[in-house]
A and B are shown apart, each in its own frame.
Chain A
Amino acid sequence: MIEQNLSLLLVVIPLLAAPVTAMLPAGRLPWLLTLIVSWTCLVIAGWQLSVVIDGSVISYELGGWAPPWGIEYRIDAMNAFVALILSGIAAITLPYALRTVEKDIPRHQTSLFYAVFLLCLVGLLGIAQTGDVFNLFVFLEISSLSSYVLIAMGEQRRALTSAFQYLIMGTIGATFLLIGIGLVYAETGTLNMVDLNLRLQPILDHRTVHTGFAFIVVGIALKLALFPLHLWLPNAYKYAPSVVSVFLAATATKVAVYIMLRMVFGVFSNDFVRITPTDQMFLLLGIFGVILASVTAIYQTDVKRLLAYSSVAQVSYMVLGMGLASVLGITATLVHVFNHALIKGALFMACGALVYRVGSSQFENLNGLGRQMPWTFSAIFIAGLSLIGIPGTAGFISKWYFMLAALEQQSWLIALVILLGSLLAVVYMWKIVEVMFLRPASDNVASVKEAPVSLLIPMWVLVIANIYFGFYTELTVNVADSAARLLGVAAYHE
């Protein structure tokens, strides 16, 4: 029974656990249940990936209604890969959550907090699992609504305005996606992704299909924080509770990247991307995104905001990979989805540890802290190297594949932008190093101790994963490559 319902249990277990968590008494019990659930999800997601890694597909019919009429969960290598990233990040974030949530969230709200956290996980995992575009929209709303709540739970009152800003932008994005899905549905009469792909091919030149496509792409781009639609992101990450910043930074935009890939290449097609100016648009926005967001990151005076702008830049790399529209480009995008989740997870965890001890992530409060908190500081340093793309780290692998994809098409401009982005990353990561290590310590930090062990262990697991996946690339690259091929992306040839 378990193996037959494997891909569904991944969504239903956290869905059942969320209301149970909400009814538990406040304290550590809700945390414990959430921890168990997220580790169970990780096991299931790993199992699922091991089933589909050979290129097979799991198809699950909800309610016994055969697709394309019923809702279908359709798991191929890409879905399973994204689901593994999501549940892995959730499983590693929860041990970290215990101490920071006790500090950030009032005690009587803890059970509700973890219930909302689980709902957010349900939404994200559901997006990864489903093969139905309307079901995808519903899960997107579940994850978005719960992330607005999670962000609004931040300590400062500014968290409310940031969450509201995100709510407005996110709702516009979701509405656009829904309008697009509606138009495409009107043209084809189906919502199943595989079926949509088949039925769209003969009518790809219809105006309605083009309009629907435009709505879908802009809607997802808002969720993706694609430059120039990224303005909601820095504040949302800055004012959210530490653990929420970690979780959302490592998962939310990655899932949006997945949706973009699935809709643009899976539902429409590689040819459609090439006959419309979609690939050039992705390249253009990607180039501007990498450079301008990195430059903006340099001028930040707050670690969290700096990392948030860096996230916008890194997402722009993924968009560059999509713009290249080749197997190598999509492989690079998917590899970077994985590696960036590791990098940003580690960096935001370190940042959360600073906030835990100092109460602020402003540069002026962090002077000379590197000597007081050596483990946190070295985590930032190593994850920073990975972000820049130094050989021997996970970040290098992604940059390497982006380079390969760009050079395959002789796009020297793209190659140059990728290098320039890395150089700018050196500058903004160096700013953190300079503040934390080279500046003299101010008096108020003299008594600051190293972060608690329960924060350091998850952080260092991710840091070590950054190094591990810099050497052993079988999992990431092979899965990403077979996912890109299953998506129907053609290899590049002139």
Chain B
Amino acid sequence: MTDTSQTPSAAPAAKPKGGSLFEKDARTKRRNAAEGRFKLYGIAAIGIGLLMLVVLVTNIVTAGTGAFQQSFLELNVELKEDKLDKKGNRNIDDIKKVSTFGYAPLIASALEAEVAQLGIQTELLPKEMGKILSKAAQAELRNYVIANPDEIGKTVSFRFLVNSRVDGYMKGRVTRDSIANDKSISVEQLDFVDQLRDAGVLYKAFNPDFIFGSDASDQRPEAAGIGVSMLGSLFMMFVVLVLALPIGVAASIYLEEFAPQNRLTDIIEVNISNLAAVPSIVFGILGLAVFINYMHLPTSAPLVGGLVLTLMTLPTIIISTRASLKAVPPSIRDAALGVGASKMQSVFHHVLPLAAPGILTGTIIGLAQALGETAPLLLIGMVGFIASNPPDGLVAGFLSPNSAMPAQIYEWSKRADPAFYERAWGGIIILLIFLVTMNTIAVILRRRFERRW
């Protein structure tokens, strides 16, 4: 349309060339307009991207921040001797015979005493009052008594977790309407919680156990933490770093600097690129077949996870290392060879140091990718109720069963209690912090040390 309308006006513009540069003719205007439009499309594209990012981040932050806070109840518990140590001889084996279930009445009566002391009126039975506390409280109390048998008979002050429903009520997730059909908590118990909160003994506080603690069973989501699976991830990343970096760098140096250009190296090159595109679950199947079924390595071990992720990360590292080796200009190699260096000396003394920032960047990005990987871990048994014991030593860290952060998040998102859902989002926040930190380090390395020619 514009073309036809401009035909008449084009005639005067076709005057001798060399008209003023300040006067824009129709064609220039059209070109400028196209450029303006293109800029607009670009800005729109970035805008859409940013919008998605903002939506994602706000979503994660709003859903996940709750996991870092937890409701606690302060309680003075009398460690009754007749319940915990009937013989009174403080024999640790006798004390251990009282199971966690035996501690429930102790907590209930402590709560009853506290209620009387605070002057709270309630019609709840002590057993029903005790139900607002987490089941983890009994375990905490038992561990304390076993660690300090001398304290039996005294009254000790504790800060216990409360049950996930009560915690949800404190966070506004659970309301009196929403529990109409709920068997695990009643309106009377929520009234009781209100009274305790007003008395100042029940409050929300930062919960370090979410970051450093271990996984908990379906009955006590309030006690679950991501710490042990974080350790699992770290041990796996160590294996990946120690194996993938030397193997990857050695392979790429050979391919780039030493290997003859023939069919075979072409095939290898094509296959490395193909490997980078293989879905990660395939590496999981391979890991199961080779490392567990054939080599008889233990299942669920971070060592095996690390080996599988090494296979997955290798192509990424090789490709980025080769790219950064290629970026070192041939003149550097020629100069080194010219002053009498051997091929190996020229590579290790001159080319490799110059390519190092690129190699490290590639490695960190490969590690970050491996850190967020869940699919291969499914097959080697790292998803489930696994991250319940912190490893007791370095070797155990590699060999005893553990999970990984993304696997733990996946596991939480499958569980029934909505409190686990909140924890899954909280886990995502922690995982994202790790990934952002790693990628930032990669960017800083590249900015500081990379040389351009």
Are both chains from one complex? no
